Structure 1
Amino acid sequence: MQQVKSVVTEFRGNHYDFGYAQGEWMKGTLMLKNREREWRIRRPRFDVDIEETKQMFNEFAPKIWDELTGLQDSLEMSMTQVLQNFGGYRVYAKDSGCSIFTADDFLVRNYDYHPATYDGRLTFFQPDDGGYATMAPVSRVTGRMDGMNEKGLTMGYNFMHRKNPGDGFVCSMIGRLILETCRDVEEAVKLLKAIPHRSSFSYVLLDKRGITQIVEVTPREINVREHHYCTNHFEVLTHENRKVLTDSQERMTAMTAQVNDGLTAVQAFKVMNDTTAGIFSDKYSSWSGTIHTSCYFPNKLKMHIALGGDMEPVELDFNSWLEGAPLPLTEIKGQLDTHLKFASE
């Protein structure tokens, strides 16, 4: 059993300065060395086209390009290197897990992936040059794997498959675009229909009105459905599913049998985080171990999160922070049943 932690950071200001600050933070971690080692082991299966990527960001989220420029200046990297590592466009995806349930007033999810890809960072960001303020765990520095914005829009995504990828944004950057540019489910669905997608995922959305939509996405087609459960297989675009869905279906069965809208958020969180309930996964070396369980409350603008299983969650109050209160803590501690380290360690 390994002790782990995720640092909690905050930033109020423009995107360029935010990018520069993140670059300075990375210099004090092993993240860059770990990324270099990863590329030596696993050759990139994508091309970097600076002008095309810039054009896409300028169309959908121009200020995030400013953030990438800030990263470039801080790290003294070429833009090609910045985009390869943090651009979130045209990136190859590994298999992973994840399970999500929504009720009218909360979204609870298990984020399942490989620890070496996990930044170990949760950021509060309030831009003053455009875009909504967000509170979310960080993925690949510039991306977000789940989270909530100041309007109460909440998002999480689940991997489906990596066959026949296209040119487009990856899941973590799409999560960032949703949270920073959309105020409700309708706007998020509209964005998901408009942007190009690299890989196949389901995006689960919940807003303050209690509206939930699951958007099944591939580089070829998109379907929007109303449902409250999601693991790692499509329910409508079934022709796009992987051939082997046993693990995803087992987690779906375990979740639907134990988690429902009759439970409180605290009860639902406990079941999702319970290492014996059949939803939490310990398959870390197979890229599908549960790293964190998170629960978002759109109407309260609060979040519960725990690293590892069988843990008591930490509460983060986004609304208080938006009103100017300082962060109540600087790190979240937990434990994972694996020797694999986080990307920043």
Structure 2
Amino acid sequence: MGQQQMTFRAIEVGDGGDGRWAAHTQPLWPVAETWMTDEGRTPEGAARARALFETHMPELVPALDRLTGQLDRPHAETFLTLATVRPFFSGCTQIGGEGRLLRNYDFNPDECEGTIVSSHFLRPVIGMQEAVWGLLDGMNDAGLAVSLTFGGRFVQGPGFSILLVLRYLLETCDTVDEAVAKLATIPICLAQNVTLIDPEQAMTVFVGPDIPMTPAPDACATNHQHLPVPDQQEQFTRTRQRLSAVRASGADVAAMLKPPLYQFAYHEGLGTVYTADYRPSEGRVTYHWPEESWEQSFDAFTPGSRTVTLGAP
């Protein structure tokens, strides 16, 4: 249970057309581009990705074109569709209810972008960015908040990375009902759990390339879906233990910052990188670490950086 440090940044990018998004993204591109599959680097793969994007996310096509022009890199458009990216698997625990979404994001800190982004591609959105415009979690100005966890099943199929799907839901939906209706029609390439909240309701749904969207029993999620968890998987991820713990504790930041919900296996990609406490009806989110916190809001978004300590002595 060692400690390590990670630097998080908060940036405003507007609609992505004035150079701020590109200035942040250009240094990330060499690493981001490695996420692409070989198929995505072919003309045929690029055409399929563009067609899929236009079919399922037509409202975001102007933003896609705007960002592609700002980035000016080979394969930029195809990468930004996030329809030709290799899979990634993470930990995570999340719970929603009473207008609040609380989550731990568990991953390898060295592979996290660590960028809190305030944007206005179609509407005001604040969230934790990954893959240069996808989101791990976030909220919009209508009071909707969403977050993801890996569904625990190593299946893969055609479709989008859930990172961009969360972005799309926040850009185009006002309520949980609207977001769930859209989510049910979008192909997702990996097994994922999505928790959604608005001022009136909260729910978690299971999605994946091999299942129809399936509502979870409650608005909680760790790293399994509707099938039994093999003992070996439970020993490695403690997903059932964490689900029981978050159900028992409720939306409690203190509990999220302690075991079993707070995890330390950073070298295995299962250490807690941050805790996010979204209050979207209030337009604010607070990111927590064991020794400090950082609040951002639509009314008072503060660009800057913080170097924080992860883990415990």
Instruction: Give yes or no for TM over 0.5.
Output: yes
CA contact (8 A) 1:114 1:284 kept: yes
Deviations 1:148-203 (A, max 9, x none): 01101010111013533111011111111111111101111111111111011110
Deviations 1:249-275 (A, max 9, x none): 122233233x12xxxx6xx1121023x
User: SS of the counterpart of 2:120?
Assistant: strand
Structure 1, unaligned runs of 5 or more: 322-326, 339-345
Determine the structure 2 residue equivalent to 1:161.
152
The answer to whether residue 233 in structure 2 is matched with residue 244 in structure 1 is: yes
User: SS of the counterpart of 1:233?
Assistant: coil
Residue 265 of structure 2, aligned match among 283, 291, 302: 283
Deviations 1:89-108 (A, max 9, x none): 13232331000012213111
In the TM superposition, structure 1's runs of 4+ consecutive aligned residues that sit over 6 Å from their partners are 239-243
Residue 292 of structure 1, aligned match among 274, 289, 313: 274
Structure 1 distance, partners of 2:136, 2:95, is: 15
Determine the structure 1 residue equivalent to 2:179.
188
Structure 2 distance, partners of 1:8, 1:95, is: 24
Q: Report the alpha carbon displacement of residue 231 of structure 1 after superposing the two structures with TM.
A: 0.5
Please, which moves more after superposition, 50-59 or 146-155? 50-59
CA contact (8 A) 2:290 2:311 kept: no
User: SS of the counterpart of 2:117?
Assistant: strand
Residue 269 of structure 1, aligned match among 241, 253, 262: 253
Determine the structure 1 residue equivalent to 2:50.
54
Determine the structure 2 residue equivalent to 1:314.
294
Structure 1 distance, partners of 2:65, 2:110, is: 25
Determine the structure 2 residue equivalent to 1:4.
6
Structure 2, unaligned runs of 5 or more: none
CA contact (8 A) 1:305 1:314 kept: yes
Q: 1:61-140 alignment to 2 at 5 Å?
A: 61-62=57-58, 64-78=60-74, 80-84=75-79, 86-127=80-121, 131-140=122-131
CA contact (8 A) 1:61 1:181 kept: no
Q: Report the alpha carbon displacement of residue 206 of structure 1 after superposing the two structures with TM.
A: 0.4
Structure 1 distance, partners of 2:174, 2:8, is: 27
Residue 133 of structure 2, aligned match among 142, 147, 162: 142
Q: Report the alpha carbon displacement of residue 63 of structure 1 after superposing the two structures with TM.
A: 5.1
Q: Report the alpha carbon displacement of residue 47 of structure 1 after superposing the two structures with TM.
A: 4.0
Q: Report the alpha carbon displacement of residue 238 of structure 1 after superposing the two structures with TM.
A: 1.2
CA contact (8 A) 1:98 1:111 kept: yes
Structure 2 distance, partners of 1:34, 1:11, is: 20
Determine the structure 1 residue equivalent to 2:307.
333
**RMSD over aligned Cα atoms:** 2.6
Q: 1:194-209 alignment to 2 at 5 Å?
A: 194-209=185-200
Structure 1 distance, partners of 2:161, 2:46, is: 16
User: SS of the counterpart of 1:316?
Assistant: strand
Structure 2 distance, partners of 1:21, 1:66, is: 17
Structure 1 distance, partners of 2:206, 2:84, is: 19
